Structure 1
Amino acid sequence: MLRKMPTLFELFGFVLLVIETLTGMAGNGFIAIMNCIDWFRSRKLSPADMILSCLSLFRFSFHVVLIQAEISNLFFVDAVQMLNLKISSDSSWLFLNTASLWFAALLSVLYCVKIANISHPLFLQMKRRFPGLVPWLLLGTVVFSAITTTVTITGIIMTKCNIHESHLNNNNDSTIDTTNSCEFLILLDVFPNLPPFMIFLISSILLLTSLWRHKNLLRNSARDVSTEVHLNAIKALASFSILYVTNVFVEVLSIVLSWMGINDNGVHLILFNVIAAYSSGHAIILIFMSPKLKQELIKILTR
């Protein structure tokens, strides 16, 4: 059943979300396709390409879930009765988002151990071993995300906890529990985002610090070209760090607002747009940071 006509602000936010979603799907799809072509040609993938491929595929799928959730939320009033759709959407949202945050954290760690110039024995040991552990870490990430999603969604169904209710409907159901019985589920919903956030933050700070020091050394040596390259890398990493931190903050805020019963469409459209902008923006940064991807994109656009 269709709901009442959306307001002008809601329509504007939805159009913006569609643009961001299509941009993110195009960017992440391009990265995944290019890596698949390289894998088909060489029969192998580097650790960085493995992470990028998984990250792009999961983000592509996440954009599909994101736009489907907002369509249900904005244009359909009886989504609460579509139990199967709601459970599927919530499960997909949690699983894909958790896995994507972990993949992004692993990518940051990989860049850190490959590029950062740190002489600590523990860092040097990680520098040697981490690339070989990437396939197992990717598998562990998928398993961990699946387990936490299953436990959280099962708890939401059993306790009728209003954690993700606002993703799919605007109704205040008196049977939905927002008391202390939901606190554990809220922590369980937020917790999977915190470890990758801390890992990403630490590795990004180490990498940015190392690049900044190296840039200063190159500047003192009057190597302008290398200095410019490092400066561009710092700008790209700093931009991604801002996007990542903002996304995690918005994800937590969305959960808290839902638990508090704040189901305003305008508020959640803003949050959804920020989440979509993070994924789309990072895909663009990754493409322009990679000479290979950037060159392939230029070839496609100039044909």
Structure 2
Amino acid sequence: MIPNQLTVFFMTIYLLESLTIIVQSSIIVAVLSREWAQVKRLSPVDMILISLGVCRFCLQGTSVLYNFCYYFNPDDDLWYIATIWEFTNTLTFWLTSVLAVVYCVKVSSFTYAIFLWLRWRILRLVPWLLLGSLMISCVTIIVSALRVVFFKSHLISMMQLPGNNTKTETLRTFLEKNYVHQFLATSFIPFLLFLTSTILLIASLCQHLRQIRHHDTGHSNSSMKAHATALRFLAFFLIFFTSYFLTIIISTTYYLRYKSYWFWAGETIIYATVSIHLTSLMLSSPTFKKVLKVSCCGPKLPEAPGTARP
């Protein structure tokens, strides 16, 4: 199959974005793993970021492999690659929601009993939350793989019988709709958790910022700058991850043919948001920022005052 010029353009942009994401994920894992080896410990946030880096690396690799293999060999059965992509994508959603929950609990100024209890225990709960995210993703993908194997074997047996074209097409349509519904359910739950946690944290920072404005001192001015920086970061974090979720849902619900340049345009939009989202994740880690500052400016430079650390 020879793609047209517009398709080649979007395919090239998609490939460059994929390489960028793979490099970003590798840097996150390499930098934080080196820090882990040096100090023999990692903060809970950095543990989540390493897990996200590994997931993003695998997710982007399987995306590139599946999209190009299916485009140039549409008759190949690549369901196992799609299953790996679905697993890493589901795990990425859960890990991002866990990261948002940790930020919300540790940074927010709410004094409700549930927040105080979680603030005391959240750091010890992070390894269990990571394990829980992995187990949920494994259960989800096992169910999805069993469903695909069952329906595909049933579909193959029906295709071998004469006069079953209508039933075969009905079963194929049902399989596609079933996949879409399961994907929506498994993605929406962690996304809702992420959305709730991020909105609560933004509301808490806004409330605290209003309280600071009543005390117009030099210290309050630096605190206001730090809070404003944190709010801008959270706003970008919310916008780009929400954009990724919506574009994934739209491209899954309204399936676009791989032969169309619209499919590759959609992939370009999706992974542009992923790259920006990864950049925001890198900037959210105090450990990563410290290593980056030491590498670029030298080890003895002091940290600038008023730096916001969500």
The answer on whether the counterparts of 1:257 and 1:263 sit within 8 Å (CA) in structure 2 is no
1:5-59 CA-to-partner distances (Å, cap 9, x unmatched) read 2111111111211222122122221111111112111222221111111011111
Q: Give the CA deviation at 1:270.
A: 2.4
Question: Which of 71, 85, 109 is 1:117 aligned to?
Answer: 109
The answer on whether the counterparts of 2:32 and 2:287 sit within 8 Å (CA) in structure 1 is no
Q: Which amino acid aligns with 1:269?
A: W
Q: Which amino acid aligns with 1:219?
A: R
What percent identity do the matched residue pairs reach? 27
The answer on whether the counterparts of 2:282 and 2:289 sit within 8 Å (CA) in structure 1 is yes
What is the TM-score normalised by the length of structure 1?
0.84
Q: Which amino acid aligns with 1:265?
A: S
Distance 1:44 1:299 in 2: 19
Q: Give the CA deviation at 1:126.
A: 1.6
Q: Give the CA deviation at 1:180.
A: 4.3
Q: Give the CA deviation at 1:87.
A: 2.1
Question: Which of 260, 270, 276 is 1:281 aligned to?
Answer: 276
Q: In structure 1, the residue corresponding to 2:109 is in which secondary structure? A: coil
Match for residue 80 of structure 1? 75
Match for residue 170 of structure 1? none
Q: Which amino acid aligns with 2:265?
A: I
Q: Give the CA deviation at 1:263.
A: 4.9
1:251-270 alignment runs, 5 A limit: 251-258=248-255, 262-270=257-265
1:137-176 alignment runs, 5 A limit: 137-160=129-152, 175=168
Q: What number of residue pairs does the alignment pair up? A: 282
Q: Give the CA deviation at 1:299.
A: 5.1
Relative to 1, partners in 2 of residues 1:263 and 1:158: Cα closer, same or farther, differing over 3 Å?
Answer: farther
Relative to 1, partners in 2 of residues 1:292 and 1:139: Cα closer, same or farther, differing over 3 Å?
Answer: closer
Which piece of structure 1 moves more, 176-185 or 47-56? 176-185
Q: Give the CA deviation at 1:135.
A: 0.8
1:100-144 CA-to-partner distances (Å, cap 9, x unmatched) read 010000000000000000011112112222221111111121121
Distance 2:214 2:18 in 1: 44
Distance 2:139 2:211 in 1: 47
The answer on whether the counterparts of 1:204 and 1:237 sit within 8 Å (CA) in structure 2 is yes
Distance 2:293 2:6 in 1: 36
Q: In structure 2, the residue corresponding to 1:80 is in which secondary structure? A: coil
Distance 1:108 1:296 in 2: 23
Q: Give the CA deviation at 1:60.
A: 1.2
Distance 1:95 1:299 in 2: 36
Q: Give the CA deviation at 1:253.
A: 1.8
Q: Which amino acid aligns with 1:214?
A: H
Match for residue 235 of structure 2? 238
Q: In structure 1, the residue corresponding to 2:281 is in which secondary structure? A: helix
Structure label with greater radius of gyration: 2
Question: Which of 268, 293, 296 is 2:291 aligned to?
Answer: 296
Q: In structure 1, the residue corresponding to 2:36 is in which secondary structure? A: helix
Q: Which amino acid aligns with 1:97?
A: N
Q: Give the CA deviation at 1:178.
A: 4.1
Q: Which amino acid aligns with 2:205?
A: L
In structure 2, list runs of 5 or more residues that go unmatched: 154-164, 299-310
Match for residue 52 of structure 1? 49
1:150-173 CA-to-partner distances (Å, cap 9, x unmatched) read 211331233249xxxxxxxxxxx9
Q: Give the CA deviation at 1:61.
A: 1.2
Q: Give the CA deviation at 1:291.
A: 4.3
